[in-house]
């Protein structure tokens, strides 16, 4: 079925009689809903806001809330969890689509985790005055890069590729934290966002230091990796989380070695992590990876107290990774 509902980017969310917010990425959905709410509130401070859990919906609730009032206050009705909606909501929702209230905005949130509510979803998509805001999951490394780039482009600002990469390394898994970091940089810096600016703000994070070391080592830049490692240690970084972050990359590579066609879900990895691990594996052999895993275990034990000086084992691990697990000969 071709959708009659207008498709709108989550960054450009705006009020409409009926707004369908679909897809699994909760951060995008949350931002879109907040944008619509603030837009309506700016238009009229008397806005009434009603939040409804779709699973607990009772027959007639939507009609009661949206019925024309004596003072004609604008109303915003947000129904969350449509993927778990009651039969009553499906019936009332379809009825509402045939006769929406002029001064009301209805937002329905469905994360796509089930086919529950499909009849209502199809009815929304067959409605010309409705809009759909699709909030697709960030699956690949390229998706995450596009998200960060989009945050700055949307604000009319420039960002270098090095800065994008530095932000992704600093905030690996949390979209909300990543977005907050972008917002902070936009507020505090009037210039083009460069890797140096990102490093000034977030270079002290253990994740940033560790991933810089790991990325340099995996790229074969042994001298740079060692310099970054020594700088991190000299500025107070604890060896334990450094080893943990570097080891995470090695474990991800080991997971897909010999099984590169496996899906991210089957390996317990995010799709973007799988992309990176595949790239990082270039040039590695079975024996080389085995040596790196041994060195990783030794460095981990040393960092946790098995050796008096854990730095030696950590440096040995980084040097070994830089040479793809082959012990360099002097």
The pLDDT, as a whole number, for residue 202 is: 80
Q: Pick the last residue of a domain from 168, 202, 236.
A: 202
The per-residue pLDDT for 85 is 95
Q: Supply the pLDDT for residue 114.
A: 93
Spell out the residues 6+ positions from residue 98 whose beta carbon is closer than 8 angstroms to its own: none
Enclosing domain of residue 228: 206-322
pLDDT at residue 69 in the model? 74
Is 324 in contact with 224 (CB distance < 8 Å)? no
Of 202, 233, 248, which residue is a domain's last? 202
E strand spans, the chain: 6-7, 18-22, 48-53, 75-80, 104-110, 130-134
Whole-model pTM: value is 0.68
d(CA 130, CA 117): 17
- Same structural domain, 182 and 228: no
156 in the same domain as 79: no
Phi/psi for 89 (5° steps) reads -65, -40
Does residue 84 carry a pLDDT above 60? Answer: yes
Residue 327 lies in a domain: no
Residue 50 and residue 125 in one domain? yes
pLDDT tens-digit map of 290-326? 999 999 999 989 888 887 778 899 999 999 999 998 8
Give whole-number Cα distances, 137 to 25, 98, 313, in Å: 5, 31, 39
Phi then psi dihedrals of residue 58, to 5 deg: -115, 145
Asked whether residue 68 falls in the same domain as residue 146, the answer is: no
Say what the pLDDT of residue 75 is. Answer: 95
Does a structural domain hold residue 329? no
Q: 68 and 96: one domain?
A: yes
Domains held by the chain: number:
3
Q: Is a pLDDT exceeding 90 seen at residue 166?
A: no
CATH number of the domain where residue 298 is located:
1.20.272.10
- Mean pLDDT value across the chain: 89
Residue 309: its pLDDT value, please? Answer: 79
Last-in-domain residue among 174, 202, 230: 202
Query: 76 forms bridges with which residues in the sheet?
Result: 49, 105
33: Cβ contacts below 8 Å, ≥ 6 apart: 13, 21, 78, 107, 109
pLDDT at position 52 is 96
Q: What percent of the chain has pLDDT over 90?
A: 57
Q: What is the CATH number of the domain that holds 149?
A: 1.10.8.60
Mean pLDDT of the region 18-26: 96
Confidence of residue 72 (pLDDT cuts 50, 70, 90): confident
**147 and 198 both lie in a single domain:** yes
Same domain, 90 and 184: no
Chain-centroid distance, C-alpha 120: 28
More reliable by pLDDT, 127 or 274: 127
């Amino acid at each position: 079925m071709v959708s009659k509902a207008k498709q709108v980017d989550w960054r450009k969310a705006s009020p409409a009689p009926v707004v369908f917010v679909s897809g699994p990425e909760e951060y995008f959905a949350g931002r879109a809903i907040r944008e619509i709410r603030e837009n309506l509130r700016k238009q009229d401070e008397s806005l009434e806001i009603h939040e409804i859990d779709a699973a607990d919906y009772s027959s007639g609730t939507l009609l009661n809330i949206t019925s024309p009032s004596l003072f004609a206050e604008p109303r915003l009705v947000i129904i969350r969890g449509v993927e778990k909606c009651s039969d009553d909501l499906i019936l009332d929702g379809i009825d509402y689509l045939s006769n929406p209230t002029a001064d009301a905005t209805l937002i329905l949130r469905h994360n796509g985790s089930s086919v529950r509510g499909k009849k209502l979803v199809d009815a929304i998509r067959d409605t010309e005055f409705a809009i759909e805001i699709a909030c697709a999951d960030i699956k690949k490394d390229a998706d995450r890069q596009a998200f960060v780039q989009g945050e700055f482009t949307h604000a009319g600002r420039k960002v270098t590729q090095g800065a994008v990469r530095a932000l992704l390394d600093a905030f690996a898994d949390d979209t909300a934290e990543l977005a907050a970091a972008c917002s902070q940089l936009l507020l505090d810096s009037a210039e083009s966002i460069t890797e140096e600016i990102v490093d000034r703000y977030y270079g002290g994070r253990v994740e940033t230091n560790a991933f810089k070391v790991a990325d340099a080592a995996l790229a074969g830049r042994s001298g740079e990796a060692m310099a970054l490692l020594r700088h991190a240690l000299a500025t107070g970084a604890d060896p334990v989380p450094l080893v943990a972050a570097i080891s995470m990359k090695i474990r991800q590579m080991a997971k897909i070695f010999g099984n590169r066609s496996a899906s991210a879900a089957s390996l317990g990895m995010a799709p973007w992590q799988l992309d990176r691990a595949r790239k990082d594996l270039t040039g590695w052999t079975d024996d080389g990876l085995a040596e790196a895993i041994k060195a990783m275990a030794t460095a981990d034990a040393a960092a946790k107290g098995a050796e008096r000086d854990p730095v030696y084992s950590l440096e040995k691990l980084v040097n070994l990774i830089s040479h793809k697990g082959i012990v360099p000969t002097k």
